[in-house]
Every structure is written in C-alpha cells, then in structure tokens.
Amino acid sequence: MRKRIKLTVAYDGTNYCGWQIQPNGLTVEEVLNKKISALTGEDIKVIGASRTDSGVHALGNVAVFDTESSIPPQRFAYALNQKLPEDIVITDSREVPADWHPRYQDNISKIYEYHIHNGPVPDPMKRCYAAFVSFPLDIEKMRMGANYLIGEHDFVSFCNIRTNTEDTVRTIEDIQILTREERTEEDSSPDGREIVIRIRGNGFLYNMVRIIAGTLIRVGRGFYEPEKVEQILQMRKRTEAGVTAPPQGLVLVKILYGESEK
C-alpha cells in the first residue's frame, strides 16, 4: 500500500552544495534520494520544505516521499541513519496524508538562527558554523534595528536581486539577538562571544536572513543607525541594505506547521 512519509532532517551543510539537486556538486537532496531508493528498492524523489544554500546547516528541515515499502513509518529514521553519512541525520519519520506537502500548508512558520563569532581572532572550531566579526558590535543597537523588521513588510530590499519571486511581502513574527560570553581557561579575560540572531517568520526570500544579518552587523559596527533599517524597508532597493552575510553562520532550526514552538 502506497504511503507518504515525512522526514525531519538535520545536516551539517559544510560539504554540500545546498539542498536542491544541481549539476555542479553533491547536495543533501541527492544523497537522500539515493539512500532511500537503495533502502526501498524504488526510484525515490523527496520533496523538501526549504532549499537551503551551499554551506548552510539545518536542525529541522522537512521532506516527504512516497513509498510502497513495508517498513513502518517510524522505523525509516532508524533504517536510513544506518545508511546516511554522518553529516546527515533523520531525527523523525512518520506517515502523513497522501496530499500533505511540506511547502504548501496553512500557518507555516520557519525559525532560522544566524551565528556570529565576535572576538579579536577567529576560532578555528567555529569556522564552519559561525561568521567571524573582529570589530566590536553594539548589541543594543542591533536589537533596536531588528525591531523595525517585526511585522508584515515588503522585504524586497533584503532579497537577492536574482530571485524570481514577484510577491516579496513576508511577516517576521519575532526576532531576537542573543549573546553568550566565552572565556579562556587561563584567566577571566574575554576571548570572544557568540551572537545569535534568531528569526521566526511565515516565509523567507532568497538570502533574506543572511542579508538581514549583514545589515544588523553594520548597525552593530556603527555604520548604520538603528533607524536606517526602517529606511531600508521603505526604500525597497537591495543596494540600500548590508552585504549578504556568509552562509556558514546560518541554521534552519525548525519548521512549524500550525503548532507552537517547543
């Protein structure tokens, strides 16, 4: 009997050219298709919820596929994790209705985090998982600037100019800027800190979170006053916003389908 399986997928995107299959390198989607096909003996093509870019990570991306395999839905996670490389893990598998689509549901919210290592020198342990900023960042000003982004806005200024999307209106439900101080073992002098920009919204344009991060970094460095963020929204020009921050700092944390965050 044919059934549709929903997977929650976590991955380290360092060694992949993003989620979506493409001719110039290995992608997460390609690996999943091959491993699920080998497991079931079928020609499987997964449908993903979010097409993350090269080098971007995920803790909770979502994909579905159809199968006639007799493997119980909840056992797919275990079975696939025996075949997948160590940098891709299925954290949950379950059956969903045959017409359930991971991108076309009511009340979808996505949660992203952008990680910044702010300190005097780079941390080699974080080079694949955070953007390095050596200049001091004013966290309070970054928070003030971020507040202008909350709500429904036309985010065309925060969108890669190559996007084909005509509707650039999105809603940011919440945005927080969190910090965690780090210290050396030898003494109590600051060795840097981790800054996390955590954004929840009903959808995101191509490179939108990374452009928001790049803009807020400029606010933190003092190049922009917080009020500049509101002006960038109103001017509706990509050239007014900050640079696109590097991909390795970005993590797709979770996709919520009408449920509250846990």
- Distance from C-alpha of 21 to C-alpha of 40, rounded to nearest angstrom: 20
What are the φ and ψ backbone dihedral angles of 63, each rounded to 5 degrees?
-145, 155
- Distance from C-alpha of 36 to C-alpha of 49, rounded to nearest angstrom: 17
Are 76 and 82 spatial neighbours (Cβ–Cβ below 8 Å)?
A: no
Catalytic annotation on 154?
no
CB neighbour list of residue 181: distance below 8 Å, 6 or more residues apart:
190, 193
Which residues, listed in sequence order, are joined to residue 64 by a DSSP beta bridge? 6, 47
Whether the CA torsion 26, 27, 31, 34 is positive or negative: it is: negative
Residue of 53, 87, 92, 106 marked catalytic:
53
Neighbours of 141 (CB within 10 A): 18
Distance (Å) of CA 69 to CA 36, 41, 42, 129 = 10, 8, 8, 37
- Cα 107 to its chain centre, rounded Å, is 18
CB neighbour list of residue 234: distance below 8 Å, 6 or more residues apart:
none
* Count, residues in the chain: 262
- Distance from C-alpha of 30 to C-alpha of 68, rounded to nearest angstrom: 20
User: What is the set of active-site residues?
Assistant: 53
